[in-house]
Structure 1
Amino acid sequence: MSGRFDLGRGFYWLWCGESLAVVGTALMEFALGVWVYNHTGSTVAFANAVLAATLPAVLFLPLAGGLADRFSHRAIILCCDLILATLLLGLMALLWTDRLQPLHLYAFNALASVVSAFRKPAYQAAVSLLVKPGKFTKASGLSSLSKNTSALVAPLLAGAIMAHSGLVTILMVDLIAYCAGSLLVVKAFSGLRRVVVDKPEPEPTTGSAQGHVRLALRFLASRRTLLGLLVYTMARGAVVAVATLMMTPLLLSTLGSQALGMAYTWAALGGLAAAGVLIVLGEPRNLLVSATLADAVLAACVMGLGWVAQPWAYYPLVFVAICVAGIADACVNALWMRNLGAASRASVFALISMLTIATTSVLTLLAGFAVDHWLQPAMLPGGAYAAVLGPWLGTGVGRGVGLLLVSLGALLGLLVLALLASRAMRRLGRTVPVSHDRQPEAGQSPLAS
């Protein structure tokens, strides 16, 4: 095939099926978060639902990758879709009988997270079978298009559906999307039977995950500037994640689900704008300074989100915050790539992901507890902070989350100032190592290069 269909029919069927699954998942995640907060009024309960949908996948991804190398990708994807459809039917039954509780959603999110962890590597491996060499970039672009489009449309659509029809409609749409996507997956693999059978067995892997983590820690400890960069990466990742998470209870408690959907739409537009800026401007001369300057703007936006109380002020702040966060993310990732050899990148990036997820999880739990048991009561009329901070931030429902956002923005701003004040860190941002891709010498650890 040629032209715009040069990726092959199989991939386009698979891509259409995955796009349906992505849209359905985005609708469901938004709706379940709204339902939990509306039925509990607790920031802790909302944060727990998000954590339940995040942490289990991290634990099972290594096992899922091994299974995807040994079993049929089509079988794994179809089994995962069948399990997710069964879980959705269980939720719908609980909802119809008026027995649905937040605990059920925690269990659903955790199980769905595990299922998704097994589905993702199988889908990625399937793309490598269905797409010809040299076309992977275009395939990745189409997959990214689906994700960005769903991020842009799904929250607004889910907010409107929740406002008029409730959660059960969202679950029905999601169930239909998964079933239709499964049929498209079957169609995608219909002409691939011989290729799958003839696929060579994967070579056994060597080394242990614990060993790679120890080597990565040893490598980072050998350079103080990289340790500083690690702390910065963990801290900014946790602040951005918690600030994004806390926007949901803030807007739900003050403006409702439709306003939240609009905020997510502006956030998706900000992410697309960041991609456009990076493509047009290219890589900056000093990556660290560029990242910290973008994060300085981000810190101001996060503080502003906790300060303002009107929709017309939230939306542009969300847009700018996500845009500069995307630019800073790209600069930080490029900085790591610039300072790590090819042989050490996988281990170090795995360690960074583990530590960032751990930091984000702890900060999320602390933030939810602080809002429910400390900040929100203190910002109610007559509360401990109402007299001092009330004239600036206001008092009442949602102002505890506002105070948290102001505090997070201030902490990020202080971190930015500390990095900019360090000459060694500024030098790290503009230094280009002579070579990081050389092969390690005999008997030398790859991480020592």
Structure 2
Amino acid sequence: MSRKHRQPSFDLGRSFYFLWCGESLAIVGTALMEFALGVWVYSHTGSALAFANVVLAATLPAVVFLPLAGGLADRVSHRLIIVCCDVSLALLLFGVMGLLWFDRLEPLHLYLFNCLASIVSAFRKPAYQAAVNSIVAPEKFTRASGLMGISKNASALVAPLLAGAIMARAGLVTILAVDLITFCSGTLLVIKAFAHVRRSSGRHDGPGKASVLRGALDNVAGALKFFAASHLMAGLLVYTMLRSALLSLATLMMTPLLLSTLGSQTLGMAYTWAALGGLAGAGVLISMGNPRRLMALVAVADLLLALCVIALGVVSHAVAYCALAFVAITAASVADASVNSLWMRKIPGGNRASVFALISMLTIATTSLSIFVGGLLVDHWFQPALVPGGAYAESIGHWLGVGPGRGVGMLFVVAGACFALLALSVLCYGPMRRLEGAQSEAASPRTGDTAQVEAL
């Protein structure tokens, strides 16, 4: 009974594994490219602002297009969208490689490339998320989320090391060639994934009776109504936005915190241990299978993460930074995958991609705002107050210390305290803590690309 009964729980289906492998290749290729483009721009301009512009160009355009992209993914074949996006990215890569080959590449070209790639990715992401939701059974969402987390954290661990080695030996053009190969291979795996998917015999009243664009806008409106109809879903949305913003703020500010105190070597060690923690967290969640009280698990993991963030603002030794980074990202990985599993269970099948896109758009916007506000607080308030003779030198300075980097340390303490209050509020509010107890609105037949699938 034991072995035969447990075996199916680890079987997520051939379609999912092909899709996951294809997405993993795309994630690794994207991570290689982002690292290499940032290094190339900074080495050619020496400007931190130019480096920041590369990041912004790769992020902000997606905010504008995500709602429309989600609505489109609910009306058009997921496979068609993913393959078209991969082909578009490959063509963009060919353009950059051509400019680089003829020695015509300028930072402005990379800003434009990142902007266009961000728009393409905005259409690809909700289609991928909805595809996973449609081909995996609801009781296996948590394990699928854990595997998706492994791809993300493994790329964060391997990509910078691999990209740095390739850049040093062969230059940017080789990075772009590797990225092109990963995208093409990933596209073939996506096609293979949907070849194993059972097609639905149901009909839909989409493109035949109304334009795809009109249908996409209708699905966006449906996504807004989904949150308006349930205060618990709206609460989960706010929680997702705030936790992502605080986590991104802490992750980004690790760089100035450690560079101003212990140097680049410690920073590299901390990020390596953080990536290992992410892999460990994803592994823990996969081994747990389908845990009960999923929202309570999220809140407890986030509370542990918040305590680690507070401690990161106080400690001053390299070993302590690495240990805390490992524990923090382990907890963050468990919480991230669990939140994703909750959304997969709760979102209705009709406008699944639209809701995912709306969540992504609001999360990106909130994260960008928190990073901007955090930088202002450090530069214009916390750091000036924590220099010798500053306003907080004789009070808070006794606990956090004074001098370079202490303003960022204070930001960690404040952000961690807010994060802890957020997690405690979920644990104290019964309906939110028991959110996963209700029957999933997303329960629908697992028919792959659902009724909107059409052959390529």
TM-score (norm 1): 0.70
Partner of 2:90: 81
Q: In structure 2, what is the Cα distance between the partners aligned to 1:417 and 1:149?
A: 30
Partner of 1:371: 378
Q: In structure 2, what is the Cα distance between the partners aligned to 1:338 and 1:56?
A: 29
Q: In structure 2, what is the Cα distance between the partners aligned to 1:338 and 1:301?
A: 29
Structure 2: segments with no counterpart, 5+ residues: 1-12, 136-140, 193-203, 445-456
Partner of 2:452: none
Identical columns (%): 53
Partner of 1:199: none
Q: Secondary structure at the match of 1:388?
A: coil
Task: State the Cα distance separating 1:239 from its structure 2 match.
Answer: 0.7
Q: 1:251 aligns with which of 258, 276, 283?
A: 258
Partner of 1:389: 396
Partner of 2:157: 152
Partner of 1:174: 175
Partner of 2:55: 50
Partner of 1:198: none
Q: In structure 2, what is the Cα distance between the partners aligned to 1:323 and 1:352?
A: 23
Q: Does 1:112 align with 2:117?
A: yes
Q: Could you report, residue by residue, the CA deviation over 1:315-338 in whole angstroms, capped at 9, with x for unpaired residues?
A: 221111111112223343444556
Q: Is residue 298–residue 320 contact of structure 1 (8 Å, CA) maintained in 2?
A: yes
Q: Report the more deviating stretch, 137-146 or 45-54.
A: 137-146
Specify which structure has the bigger relative contact order, considering alpha-carbon pairs within 8 angstroms and separated by 6 or more residues. 2
Q: In structure 2, what is the Cα distance between the partners aligned to 1:113 and 1:411?
A: 31
Q: 1:299 aligns with which of 306, 314, 337?
A: 306
Task: State the Cα distance separating 1:295 from its structure 2 match.
Answer: 1.2
Q: Report the more deviating stretch, 335-344 or 404-413.
A: 335-344
Partner of 1:426: 430
Partner of 1:445: none
Q: Is residue 149–residue 282 contact of structure 2 (8 Å, CA) maintained in 1?
A: no
Structure 1: segments with no counterpart, 5+ residues: 1-5, 132-136, 192-201, 440-449
Q: In structure 2, what is the Cα distance between the partners aligned to 1:331 and 1:234?
A: 15
Partner of 2:417: 410
Q: Is residue 149–residue 278 contact of structure 2 (8 Å, CA) maintained in 1?
A: no
Partner of 1:230: 237
Q: Does 1:25 align with 2:34?
A: no
Q: Does 1:330 align with 2:334?
A: no
Q: 2:227 aligns with which of 217, 221, 229?
A: 217
Q: In structure 1, what is the Cα distance between the partners aligned to 2:338 and 2:144?
A: 24
Task: State the Cα distance separating 1:236 from its structure 2 match.
Answer: 1.1
Q: Is residue 21–residue 177 contact of structure 1 (8 Å, CA) maintained in 2?
A: no
Q: In structure 1, what is the Cα distance between the partners aligned to 2:224 and 2:40?
A: 42
Supply the AA of the counterpart residue of 2:226.
A
Q: Could you report, residue by residue, the CA deviation over 1:203-239 in whole angstroms, capped at 9, with x for unpaired residues?
A: 615362442144123213xx3x444333322211211
Task: State the Cα distance separating 1:83 from its structure 2 match.
Answer: 1.5
User: How many residue pairs are counted as aligned between the two chains?
Assistant: 409
CA-based RMSD: 5.0
Q: In structure 2, what is the Cα distance between the partners aligned to 1:246 and 1:57?
A: 23
Task: State the Cα distance separating 1:140 from its structure 2 match.
Answer: 10
Task: State the Cα distance separating 1:298 from its structure 2 match.
Answer: 0.5
Supply the AA of the counterpart residue of 2:114.
N
TM-score (norm 2): 0.69
Q: Could you report, residue by residue, the CA deviation over 1:269-300 in whole angstroms, capped at 9, with x for unpaired residues?
A: 21221122223334444333322221111001
Q: In structure 2, what is the Cα distance between the partners aligned to 1:246 and 1:35?
A: 22
Change (3 A) 1:40 1:232: same
